Structure 1
Amino acid sequence: MIYRMLAINIDGTLLQSNGKLHKSTREAIEYVQQKGIYVTLVTSRTFPSAKKIAKALKINNNLITHRGAYIAKEISRPVHSSRIKDTVTYDIVRLLEGFPCQIRLVHEHFSLANKYKLNHNLLSKTVFTTGDPIVYSQQFVDSIGDAIADESANPINIEVYFEFKEDLKDIQEAISKMYHEVECVPINDLRMDLVPTGVSKLTGLLYLAERLGIKRNEIVTIGDDMDDMEMIQASGLGVAMGNAPFEVKRAADWITRSQNQHGVAYVVKEHFRKQPQIEFLRKLNIIK
């Protein structure tokens, strides 16, 4: 099989557990791009955060960010974006403000959050790790509802960090019944993301592939998390990291080494080594 696209998750896949890129990973991405493979990142991170990683890897292609809701090469010129309507955003925020939780409206240029202080020390340390304060503005207000009452807010997604897991379950049930415009994506027992209906890493990947004229069986996808599982299953070659949960590994065609054992570099070495350059295959009329 000839593969024309490589789609890679960031956290737990490209990055080691210390948050750094290994030299072998950089070299692997450079190698596969020299073969003419279209490399993209598929992540729940914000666009500015993903763009910083892409720049370090010398990837100058469209990136699938915000869990598939925002696809762009440059932040000012998205090829696709999905947003939550301002009226729905306002109603949901007012509902959430009745519970002890931290709320974050996420846009491509900035985030808007309430000043609620979480009592869970471990969880509070993880809040806002996806944004890069150097390139991504994070604004805090006493009440998000008051802040957006007279100014429309069309976030790409809403992140909610709860104090109690029972509240997450109640809110998820209520929103699922009241608003068909959004979907609830539980991240763990205390965190939930709200995304526009139909948005996922898979839909974002398929949108970009279709735009490029690439078939899904020509895609290699590498991921490690539960929200990577759909695109791993749908791709021509779905690869699970060695550090992925059992369910993700079971859904994959191939299991590579862990993030700290340079799993991405290992995949590239094993599956792209024998594939000729894409331009060479075009000259032979093997592909168009």
Structure 2
Amino acid sequence: MIKLAAFDVDGTLRDRDYLPESTKLALHKLKEEGVQLALCTGRSEYEMASLYKELEIDWAITCNGSHIGHRGSTVFGTPFEKETVTRWLREAERAGHEVLLYGAELMFSNRPDAPLFRRAQVEIGFMEPVQLQSIDDVPDIYQCIVFCTEQEEAAYTGQEQEPLYVHRWRDWAVDFNPSGMNKAVGLMKLLDHLGIPKEEAAAFGDGLNDLEMIETVGMGIAMGNAGDALKAKARFVTQTMHEDGIAYAVDQWLLR
């Protein structure tokens, strides 16, 4: 029996501001059956606050697994070394790159009005970040997005003693997370905390940064809009979000 279900957000639960009514009803069914719910996303806790309140979801695994919050309060976190973040900001300043930094409570930018950030905001949606005031006075950071090409990426990753978790989601934008982190690691930490075996967990996703969690849990479910690589790792493939894929999967596999 499934005791916890984790959901990627963009392309899985919602598309920008569109969240199917069928998805809301399916999540309500799960809660009525005693299934715990968790968001599991590459976005920040700051950006997820309104969504988990709307859906009455207590747990949010954010920053690709680097941060775990319960009703908005940090429970577990794996931040970068402060020296690493400072070096990245200095490199971005030198190269003219735009950077987003995800803290536990806020999202910061070195250049919030720069064109690539605004392009990403139009394409996938971002809340407005806070202007970073000082390179040397940065809080704990759990994820960094650099708006740069793959060739320029090495200036950020090449000096790290351990490999970062790197997820490139556009030709001109890439996520960095601390070494060893991904959504599966964050989800396993939450499952251990709750005393739930991974075999009794389900996970839904549509992107490559969902791959590890999809193949880790007992019931990994790829959305119909997922790529072939993710579908190959999933136990089940449901319909797309716009075709009520969450509701279909809940009725067909989770609650039968």
Task: Give the TM-score normalised by structure 1.
Answer: 0.81
Give the structure 2 partner of residue 47 of structure 1. 45
Residues 174 and 24 of structure 1: CA distance in aligned 2, closer, same or farther (over 3 Å): same
Shift of 1:121: 7.5
Gaps of 5+ in 1: 275-288
Q: Which of 69, 90, 102 lines up with 1:106 in the alignment? A: 102
1:191 and 2:202 matched: no
Give the structure 1 partner of residue 7 of structure 2. 8
Kindly report which structure 2 residues correspond to 1:44-193, keeping only aligned pairs within 5 A, or say none.
44-59=42-57, 61-75=58-72, 77-115=73-111, 117-118=114-115, 122-123=119-120, 125-126=122-123, 129-131=125-127, 133=128, 138-140=129-131, 147-149=134-136, 151-162=137-148, 165=149, 168-171=150-153, 173-180=154-161, 183=164, 184-193=166-175
Give the structure 2 partner of residue 285 of structure 1. none
The SS at the match of 1:158 is: strand
Preserved contact between residue 84 and residue 181 of structure 1 (Cα < 8 Å): no
Measure, in 1, the Cα distance between the counterparts of 2:70 and 2:138.
26
Task: Give the TM-score normalised by structure 2.
Answer: 0.90
Measure, in 2, the Cα distance between the counterparts of 1:261 and 1:270.
14
Preserved contact between residue 120 and residue 126 of structure 2 (Cα < 8 Å): no
Letter paired with 1:5:
L
What RMSD, in angstroms, separates the aligned Cα atoms of the two structures? 2.2
Letter paired with 1:200:
N
Preserved contact between residue 220 and residue 237 of structure 1 (Cα < 8 Å): yes
Measure, in 2, the Cα distance between the counterparts of 1:99 and 1:58.
42
Measure, in 2, the Cα distance between the counterparts of 1:139 and 1:38.
33
Shift of 1:182: 6.2
Preserved contact between residue 239 and residue 254 of structure 1 (Cα < 8 Å): yes
CA distances 1:103-123 after superposition (whole Å, capped 9, x unpaired): 122212222212362279844
Q: Which structure has the bigger radius of gyration?
A: 1
Preserved contact between residue 10 and residue 16 of structure 2 (Cα < 8 Å): no
Q: Which of 242, 245, 262 lines up with 2:244 in the alignment? A: 262
Measure, in 2, the Cα distance between the counterparts of 1:216 and 1:210.
9
Letter paired with 1:108:
A
Shift of 1:45: 1.5
The SS at the match of 2:12 is: helix
Letter paired with 1:148:
I
Shift of 1:255: 0.6
Residues 97 and 182 of structure 1: CA distance in aligned 2, closer, same or farther (over 3 Å): farther
Preserved contact between residue 5 and residue 38 of structure 2 (Cα < 8 Å): yes
**Structure 1 stretches of at least 4 aligned residues deviating more than 4 Å after TM superposition:** 119-124
Q: Which of 10, 26, 29 lines up with 1:28 in the alignment? A: 26
Shift of 1:158: 1.3
Measure, in 2, the Cα distance between the counterparts of 1:91 and 1:18.
33
Preserved contact between residue 45 and residue 130 of structure 1 (Cα < 8 Å): no
Shift of 1:126: 4.1
CA distances 1:38-92 after superposition (whole Å, capped 9, x unpaired): 1111011211322321221222x221112111111133x3210111122121112
Preserved contact between residue 14 and residue 21 of structure 1 (Cα < 8 Å): yes
Number of residues of Structure 1 aligned to a counterpart in Structure 2? 254
CA distances 1:205-240 after superposition (whole Å, capped 9, x unpaired): 000001111111111111001000111111111110
Deviates more, 1:180-189 or 1:152-161: 180-189
Residues 119 and 234 of structure 1: CA distance in aligned 2, closer, same or farther (over 3 Å): closer
Preserved contact between residue 46 and residue 107 of structure 2 (Cα < 8 Å): no
Q: Quick one: percent identity of the two aligned structures?
A: 24
Residues 120 and 67 of structure 1: CA distance in aligned 2, closer, same or farther (over 3 Å): closer
Residues 97 and 51 of structure 1: CA distance in aligned 2, closer, same or farther (over 3 Å): same
Residues 273 and 139 of structure 1: CA distance in aligned 2, closer, same or farther (over 3 Å): closer
Measure, in 2, the Cα distance between the counterparts of 1:156 and 1:120.
19
